[in-house]
Structure 1
Amino acid sequence: MIALTKLNGDRFTLNAIYIEQVQRLPATTITLNNGKKVIVKETDAEVISQVKQFYRQIGLVGVQNDNEEGSS
Structure 2
Amino acid sequence: MIELTRLNGNSITINCDLIRYAEATPDTTLTLVTGEKLIVREPIDVVVARTFHYRVSLMQTAWPSADIALAARTHFDAQHNEPTKH
**TM score, norm. by length of structure 1:** 0.82
The count of residues paired between Structure 1 and Structure 2 equals: 68
SS for the counterpart of 1:58 is helix
Q: Which structure has the larger Rg?
A: 2
Once the two structures are superposed, residues 25-66 of structure 1 have per-residue CA deviations (whole angstroms, 9 ceiling, x without a partner) of 110011111111100000111111001111111129x72233
Which is richer in helix?
2
Aligned to 2:66: none
Output the aligned Cα RMSD: 2.0
Structure 1 residue ranges, 4+ long, deviating more than 3 angstroms after superposition = none
Q: Write 1 or 2 for the structure with the bigger share of strand.
A: 1
Q: Which runs of 5+ in 2 are unaligned?
A: 63-68
- Quick one: percent identity of the two aligned structures? 32
- Answer 1 or 2: higher relative contact order, Cα 8 Å, separation at least 6: 1
